[in-house]
A = this chain, B = another copy of it.
Amino acid sequence: MLVSQTVEYALRAVLQIARDPDGSSVRVGDIADAIDVPRNYLSKILHRLARARILESARGPTGGFKLARPPEEITLAQVAAPFAPMGERTCLLGQPACGDDRPCAAHSRWKLVAQQAEEFFNRTTVADLLAHGASTEAKRAGRRRRATTSA
């Protein structure tokens, strides 16, 4: 697994929140049900995301979580950052001073891979993933529409 369970949960939760059509607050319980993640554990994950200014939280009725910024401005790297010490150690062989000048044995080959992963997280936004969902939804709706129409 290239990302931890927790980061995976965080990504799925943020995506789920972003899917809310009104952009209104979504309750922990609803998110937990929707993405099938332990409720209290998710609560803590969302809280950390709120502290990291990715989400905003509110208590009481009408409370819940929502995005702190438009989905175009939230990268996957930002979502993962509070949980993974991402990019802290890029050397595959753990060489402290590994770099282009003092490369470890795997440096040149591994660098390409690590860079691609890093760029993926930095460049992909929540909106990018939402867009996909929308197209899938559209396809499904299309299928459903056709089926309904034919019935």
Q: Please report A residues at the B interface, Cβ cutoff 8 Å.
A: 1-3, 8, 11-12, 15, 76, 85, 88-89, 92-94, 103, 105-110, 112-114, 116-117, 120, 124, 128-130, 132-133, 136
Contact = CB atoms under 8 A, between A and B. Distances in A.
Nearest to A130: B105
A110 to B, nearest CB: 7
Given A2-B117, A117-B113, A11 B92 contact: yes
Contact of A89 (B1, B117, B136): B1
A1 B105 contact: no
Query: How many copies of the chain does the oligomer comprise?
Result: 2
B120 A113 contact: yes
Nearest to A112: B116
Given A2-B2, A108-B132, A12 B120 contact: no
A120 B109 contact: yes
